[in-house]
Amino acid sequence: MSYKTLSKEELIKLEEKFEKQYISFKDKNLKLDMSRGKPGPDQLDLCMGMLDVFNSKSILNSEDGFDCRNYGCLEGIREARELMSGILDSSPDEVIIYGNSSLNIMYDTVSRSYTHGIFGMTPWKDLKEVKFICIVPGYDRHFSILRHFGIGYVNVPMLKDGPDMDMIEKLVAEDESIKGMWCVPKYSNPDGTIYSDKTVKRMAALKPRAKDFRIYWDNAYGVHNLYDDYEELTDILRECSKAGNPDMVYKFASTSKISFTGGGLAAMAASKKNIEEIKKQLFFQTIGHDKMNQLRHTRFFKDIEGIRAHMKKHALILRPKFEMVTATFEKELSGTDTASWTKPRGGYFISLNTMEGCAKEVVAYCKDAGVVLTPAGATFPDGIDPEDSNIRIAPSYPGIDELKAASELLCLCIKLVSVRKLIKNCK
Ligand code: PMP
């Protein structure tokens, strides 16, 4: 029954019912957090064997004989580059291994362009205006990097098969101040969208006015499938090369949500020319990253097939949680016309859209009853969702029973806030 077709009297009756239910929820004194995409402890337990791959008696040389206990090997040991090349869908020669965080690499990449410029071009700090395309809704920390450097943004909406490419083609062709674009191409944060082959090819063939324009391809969820029948992502680097734009993309990934979130491996891939330039600057930052961790990862996972097998174990834990949340939405909200939501096939998030102008209030109601959600607006630059509608749900951390209680409360808050809004709108 669509709430939008109800009379004021009918809505008031519903409001009274939902209010009573809300008060009894409050009495349960819930204390749950669905705000950040963190793996649960049972997921982290899957990797404890990594701590046993070597001990004080082990020989800690890389396959080509490099002593991993010592300084050096700026780009990372060969086998780690091979391992990460599987996730990044690139050749090992196009890969550099960093520390534990891909966000750190992204920050660094923007920072280098800001202070030193790309391929001898003007550093962004010396330009009057620098902007990025932000695909919305998107990842809050991408947007925070821009804010930190005073970089502006242009929002472009996410469609079913990736961002609105008509808009992007026009923007980059016309505006020289647009220097970059954040993308989470597989199981995007938060919509769970996979960029179609057509979208990737159009992106690779962009004709940006700015010669230092780059696509920041954050493939954070490249192997995070919830189901065995998953869609493959077309490789952007190869497509860029075919389209005559070999240097236009930087790819990022990490094992944060594969091994340990607090102690994974992060890497980037790009054309050899980009990699050479980055290594020259990286030289001033470090003599080499943590090669013992690189060795631990490669000895534990062995290769990309090892990672894929490991991710199936994660899926067994995560799938019931995602399905629990979407089934609750279906049961409680379906037909009410108060919200829509995604049913992702991978990644870490469910994206929920309330009626316009309701998201902030829904999040506040949930908080009052003990359930913390990602702040409404966080999925937009500067925290401003023009429609106040999007809420990012992160179902990975809570246990399944807690998740059930939290999703039921969320649905109740959506119904209560929506009904109140509709009553207000009645003449
Ligand atoms: N990119 C995206 C899209 C993410 O969702 C996250 C984690 N929430 C990260 C990057 C952070 O990755 P890392 O732990 O490698 O810094």
Confidence (pLDDT) at 36: 82
Contact 247, 270 (CB under 8 A): yes
Cβ–ligand 1 distance for 145 under 6 Å, the answer no
| Residues 29-58: b if buried by 16+ CB within 10 A, e if exposed | ebebbbbebbbbeebbebbeebeeebeeee
Pocket test for ligand 1, best of 107, 139, 260, 265 (most atoms within 8 A of CB): 139
Long-range contacts, 299-304 (Cβ 8 Å, 24+): 299/53, 299/54, 300/47, 300/49, 300/50, 300/53, 300/259, 301/83, 301/259, 302/83, 303/82, 303/83, 303/86, 304/83, 304/86, 304/87, 304/223
ipTM confidence score: 0.99
| Nearest-angstrom CA–CA distance, 102 and 108 | 10
- Nearest residue (by CA) to ligand 1, atom 8, is 37
Cβ–ligand 1 distance for 266 under 6 Å, the answer yes
Contact 50, 300 (CB under 8 A): yes
266 bridge partner residues: 254
Confidence (pLDDT) at 321: 98
Cβ–ligand 1 distance for 108 under 6 Å, the answer no
Cβ–ligand 1 distance for 362 under 6 Å, the answer no
| Distance from the alpha carbon of residue 323 to the mean position of ligand 1, in angstroms | 23
Q: Which amino acid is at 13?
A: K
Rounded to the nearest 10°, the torsion over CA 333, 334, 336, 339 is 60
Residues 23-80 have pLDDT tens digits of 999 999 989 999 889 999 999 999 999 999 999 999 999 999 999 999 999 999 999 9
All structural domains of the chain:
3-44+308-425 (3.90.1150.10), 61-302 (3.40.640.10)
Cβ–ligand 1 distance for 191 under 6 Å, the answer no
Q: Which residues of the chain have pLDDT under 50?
A: none
Tokens standing for 374? Answer: 């990602």
Cβ–ligand 1 distance for 37 under 6 Å, the answer yes
Confidence (pLDDT) at 360: 98
| Distance from the alpha carbon of residue 37 to the mean position of ligand 1, in angstroms | 9
- Nearest residue (by CA) to ligand 1, atom 7, is 37
